[in-house]
Each structure stands twice: as structure tokens, then as C-alpha cells.
Amino acid sequence: MGAALFYHLTRSGPGQLVPMLIGKSLQAGWRVELRGRDRARQVALDEALWLGEGFLPHGLAGGPHDARQPVLLTVEGQAAANAARCLIALEGAEVSGAECAALERACILFDGNDPEALERARAQWRALVAEGVAAEYWSEAGGRWERRQ
């Protein structure tokens, strides 16, 4: 069973962390599902990943080559056909304990400056831990990413 890593964003947005997490996952040999809740935001993220520094091969789910994509951008309820070993969830996208069991890692990013996002992340933490998923909390509050107890 893979662990769920919760990333509490307080100084930066997901645009800075997502490429780093994708890069580390690809280096580990894992395919990635990048799940959001809003299709328009996923389209914007798709464009940002193409225009950003470095090359991160990816595609938007729903295309003819989904199964071949190293990184597949999906929205809640949309199946990831790329056999992902890592799931990166944005915007409070749901992640289940059963999904975590089938993955190497689930990364859950949330905006610590948004009370609703913070409460949603806390609820996800409680639900996943209740299902037996090992959870880790990461914070950038000190200026760099640190695992907290």
C-alpha cells in the first residue's frame, strides 16, 4: 500500500510543486495521474507544463494515446488509462484508500491559506488514515519543504 503525502501550500502555489513531484516520480520510473476538479484548470495546467522550464511529457485525458502518457491530467470521475503509480491530487480532488493501496504514492496538495481547502484536506487525512493508509504531512511554512510530525 502506498502512502498519502499531504503538502500544505502556504508560500507557493501548486505550479511550483507539481513539476518537482512529477520529475521525482518519473525518475522513480512511475507514471503519474494529475487529478483536479475542474477541466478548465486542467487545460490551463496542461499549457503551463508545456511552457515551463524543463520537459515534462504529459497529456490531457480523453485523447487517443492516454495509455502511453507518462503523466495524464484528469478530472474527478475520469479514469486514468496510463497505469499510474503516483497520483497527484489538486483542488481537493478525492483520493480513496483503495486507490492508495494500488499506488506507490498519492500526493495531496492543498492551499493552507484557504480555510475550506484546509478543512477538506483534514477530512481527507482522517478518512485515509481510518482506511489504514500511512499518511505524511509536509509543510513549506519554514521556507522549504519539511516533513512534520
User: Amino acid identity of 104?
Assistant: E
CA dist., res. 57 & res. 11, Å (int): 27
Res 149: pLDDT? 59
Contacts 24+ apart (CB under 8 A), 115-119: 117/91, 117/92
**Which percentage of the chain shows pLDDT scores above 70?**
98
* Grid coordinates belonging to 144: 522549504
For the chain, the 3-state helix, strand and coil shares in percent, each to the nearest 5, are 35, 25, 40
- DSSP-assigned beta bridge partners for residue 89: 35, 108
pLDDT at 69: 95
Give the pLDDT score at 11. 87
pLDDT, tens digit, for every residue of 105-138? Answer: 999 999 989 999 999 999 999 999 999 999 999 9
Q: What would the pLDDT profile of 76-93 be if each residue is shown by its tens digit?
A: 989 899 999 999 999 999
Looking at residue 24, the DSSP 8-state letter turns out to be H
Q: Is the pTM of this model over 0.75?
A: yes
Cα-based distances in Å from 47 to 8, 43, 57, 59: 24, 6, 12, 10
